[in-house]
Amino acid sequence: MLLIFLALLAFYVAWNLGANDVANSMGTSVGSKAITLRQALAIAGILELSGAVLFGGRVSETLATSIVEGDRFAETPYLLLAGMVSVMLACGIWLQIATSRGWPVASSHAVVGALAGFSAVAAGWGAVDWTTIATISIGWILTPAISAAIAACFYTLIKRWILDHPHPLQQLQEWIPWLSAALLGIFGAIVLPEIVEPLRQWLQVRFAIAIPAHNLPVVVGSVAAVSLCWVSWRQLDRLPETPADVAPDGESRFDSRIERQLARFQVLSACFVAFAHGSNDVGNAVAPLAAIAYIRRTGLVPQGDFHVPVWVLLVGGIGIVAGLAVWGKKVIGTVGERIVALQPSSGFCAELATATTVSIASRLGLPVSTSHALVGGVIGIGLASDWRSIQWATLRGIFLAWLITVPIAAILGASIFSIVHLL
């Protein structure tokens, strides 16, 4: 019964995480009108859950075993259990407050802050692995910078060679293979090896076909890129000629056919961001639950042999999807419409940069902030196009929310732990 209650508590955290953080995967697509909000909810639901189940274990293991010095709780594992309950409550409460305000805060900040807060109260400052926190904090700083740089580079190339070219439609036809290769190559190199590994092993066991580890992902990725290229060419040929959209000053802003075609690429990039987000941020919701389940099963503090059960990842993945569906609209509006006015071409670049940054972090087991990555990508677009178009007032609110998340979560975690421990 207690484990069911704790699973519901983890679901509550994942619910609030989904309502807040999934805006990072779909906000730019909705803001640029590439897809509707209802379509965004359906796409994100499938891919967030897939990413959480397939790749969510690494980050969950990092959070459950590397922030808190487990040796300090070796004699009192149930004290650690009480602390993990406090972490879930602290994260859920803060994420709910932030979502109600429309702030795209970082759930990774919240969980790390709450873990540090309860550990310091429970076993002293030495119970916190400050080296790991420093490494994660450096990732938080680098994430928006790296994402902004990638997004700015992509958008500068597309603007220079397609959007601002005298013959943009012809240029897009020539660039479709490169865009397809970039989109599927980056994501495929990071994710495909692990997705197709079970198939490679099955072929080897069942039919004695020994395929080198990286050959199958290369073949699958190549076929996917060629297929996307061929489909995109056919779609571009079928698009009716329409007048260019017009900016407020009366000058032609962009060719509608080009933007409609790039909108399709943006939807794919949004899918990759959703998958990357599910693989990274589900750990923020379920790492405490995974640690609690381990303590209840073994009576020991999680150590090197710790692995996250699939049912725990499912709780987190389903909670993320449910939170997005019920309460995700506010933050989607902030990210997609209130930082920089986005078109499909610029939204595609921001999402591709975000997916690249977060997927690499997930493979390394680093709990980076998807919020940082996407906001950084959107800022990169603004700097590459016109820095005056950036809504700095919105950014100030977002940055402030980022700064206060760690101390607020730490205070909440420490306070709730003190109450739970007394009870």
**Residue 68 to residue 288: CA distance in whole angstroms:** 11
- Per the listing, tokens 């509707």 go with 36
Which of 227, 222, 364, 338 has its CA nearest to residue 283?
364
The pLDDT, as a whole number, for residue 344 is 81
Q: How much is the pLDDT for 352?
A: 84
Q: Which pLDDT value is given to residue 23?
A: 60
Across 22-26, 190-194, 217-221, 261-265, least confident range:
22-26
Of residues 176 and 72, more confidence is placed in 176
Say if residue 141's pLDDT is above 70.
yes
Q: What is the DSSP letter of 244?
A: P
Mean residue pLDDT of the chain comes to 79
Mean pLDDT, range 261-266, rounded to an integer: 83
Kind plus residue range of the DSSP H or E element containing 246: strand 245-246
- pLDDT category at 138 given cuts 50, 70, 90 is confident
Q: Say if CB 281 and CB 108 are below 8 A apart.
A: yes
pLDDT at 422 over 60: yes
Tokens standing for 317? 């993945």
pLDDT of the residue at 127: 81
Over range 270-287, report the average pLDDT.
Answer: 75
Quickly state the pLDDT bin for 240 (edges 50, 70, 90).
low
> Does the CA dihedral 62-66-70-71 come out positive or negative?
positive
- Across the range 121-149, mean pLDDT stands at 83
Least confident of 12-21, 186-195, 286-295, 308-317: 186-195
Task: Report the pLDDT averaged over residues 112-123.
Answer: 88
- Looking at per-residue pLDDT, the higher value among 264 and 370 belongs to 264
User: Can you point out the beta strands (E) in 51-138?
Assistant: none
- pLDDT for 330 equals 61
In angstroms, the Cα distances linking 298 to 295, 302, 390 are 5, 9, 52
Per residue in 380-413, pLDDT (tens digit) is 988 888 777 777 777 787 788 888 888 999 999 9
Question: What is residue 248's predicted lDDT score, i.e. its pLDDT?
Answer: 44
State how far the Cα of 375 lies from the Cα of 402, in Å rounded to an integer.
11
pLDDT tens-digit map of 309-360: 888 888 888 888 788 777 666 666 555 555 666 778 888 888 888 878 877 7
> Which of 87-96, 290-299, 308-317, 328-337 has maximum average pLDDT?
87-96
pLDDT of residue 328: 65
Asked if the model's pLDDT at residue 94 lies above 60, the reply is yes
Q: How high is the pLDDT of residue 93?
A: 92
Question: 180 or 21: whose pLDDT is higher?
Answer: 180
Please tell me the number of Cα atoms within 13 Å of 4 on its side-chain side. 1
pLDDT level of residue 416 (50, 70, 90 thresholds): very high
pLDDT of 165: 84
27: confidence class by pLDDT, cuts 50, 70, 90: low
3-class DSSP assignment, residue 186 = helix
Contact 97, 273 (CB under 8 A): no
**What pLDDT was estimated at residue 153?**
92
